[in-house]
Amino acid sequence: MLLTDIPEVEEVESLSGAARVPLRVPAETPPLVEMSATVPSRAAAPAPRPTLRIAVVTETYPPEVNGVAMTLARFVDGLRQRHHDVQLVRPRQHADDVAQQGDHLDEVLVPGLPIPRYAHLKMGLPATRALCRLWTQQRPDLVHLVTEGPLGWSALRAARKLGLPVSSDFRTNFDAYSAHYGFGCLRAPIEAYLRHFHNRTLLTLVPTEAMRSRLGARGFQRLQVVARGVDTELFHPERRSDALRSRWGAGAQTQVVLFVGRLAPEKNLDTLVAAYQAMQQAQPDSRLVLVGDGPAREALQQQCPHAVFTGQRTGTDLAAHYASADVFLFPSITETWGNVTAEAMASGLVVLAYDCAAAGQLIRSGENGVLAPLYDAQSGDTHAFIRRAVRLATVRDDTRAMRQSARHTAAEWGWDRVVDQFEAALLHTARSARCGATPAHADLPDELDASTCSDVILPRFGS
């Protein structure tokens, strides 16, 4: 079914029925008197920090557990802390779900349908007319699209009808997923749709330079890199738990091999199993722990009857699972970023991953982790990944420096720095739209300069 064939949703739900007072950046107040040249003047007051009203449209959000939901929540919280008003448009997750309203937050809920094979996740239904009415009454300065599903497409249509500037995130390689679900013939049409979607926005944010190069070569335009952060206070080596390791059947000298993520075909789990089995031949007492859930769990339990399957974990419980392991294997090659890589590094684990996404950006192979060549995985050759895994099983006593270096690297990727980059990108896009220019990554400021963005607020209907 084409996106345009899905019936429109007429209504949306929000706790805030009336339009709020629009945010304004106060102009500088001129001095009351002219100071004498002989009197030392005070330092000029810093320019007021510009603020926006941002409509964020997404088809996933916590308490749903996935990388997109988690990182988006971080960005939304960061924008709110910086006094931006965020209108969060998302599907209703369950019958008792209600729109939340708080400090600089106004949720708008739309109907959704369960995603096949992931009944706990919802796909938002199109709501172009409803969003047109909403944004006519409460005109945002910028619409930011997080997902490219029916809700995202209708939000793009509504924003363009109203002349609102739009930015977007490229967060999921849906085209790459097709081959893992028996629809490889659809990869080219899916990529064409994603390109059409994102090229209709003023700016598309991607998490790595490698992804910007890859998408740019395939015709995607106006790409800007904004990475992801990691909570280094939550994910910390000090959360290591002997009691938890004991429940896994692991002693002090047992090497615990960890995987965290969705148990699904696109995660390249056959390579994970093959690598662990080879490690186990070198270290027979090693243990495999898999944190997460998904459609491949039953098959994995049959392949690895002695592995520990914990299901989904969150918060400090998840952090303890990371810190209590020794090696993190992550063979996925479909990630745009892969939050679990940074979380494992912050927890002081040796990470083995393919040279792509977060691993390709964060890991210096042999120094703070281990990389396997990406082209091997793309050609179906798993030998290099497996050889590196066996090496980690045989030299575990020599990895202390690598683990410490991994922690040090992760500490440089705190969320404050990343949210600053995200905020700067949105401010720049809104300002460029007001000036009638098309933003390009070449002229996006590296650091937010409030003095250059003080005129970014756009006129609103009814203001």
Q: What is the pLDDT of residues 359-417, one digit of tens each?
A: 999 999 999 999 999 987 778 889 999 999 999 999 877 899 999 999 999 999 999 99
Percent of the chain whose predicted confidence (pLDDT) is above 70 = 79
pLDDT, position 462: 29
Average pLDDT, the chain: 85
Higher-confidence position of 280 and 66: 280
**CATH classification of 49-229+416-452, choosing from 3.30.70.600, 3.40.190.10, 3.40.50.2000, 3.40.50.300?**
3.40.50.2000
Whole-number Å distance between alpha carbons of 297 and 262:
9
Question: Can you name the CATH fold of 237-411?
Answer: Rossmann fold (3.40.50)
Percent of the chain whose predicted confidence (pLDDT) is above 90 = 69
pLDDT, position 283: 94
Cα distances from 213 to residues 206, 217, 369, 408, 461, in angstroms, run 10, 6, 24, 27, 39
- Report strand pairing: 105-110 vs 101-102: antiparallel
- The predicted model scores a pTM of 0.82
Q: What is the mean pLDDT of residues 150-156?
A: 96
Select from 84, 73, 159 the least CA-distant residue to 426. Answer: 84
Higher-confidence position of 223 and 35: 223
Cα distances from 322 to residues 147, 234, 359, in angstroms, run 28, 11, 17
> Which tens digits make up the pLDDT trace of 53-70?
999 999 999 999 888 999
Q: Give CATH 3.40.50.2000 domain extents, the chain.
A: 49-229+416-452, 237-411
Is the model's pLDDT at 6 over the cut of 70? no
Higher-confidence position of 174 and 86: 86
pLDDT, position 19: 41
Is the model's pLDDT at 44 over the cut of 90? no
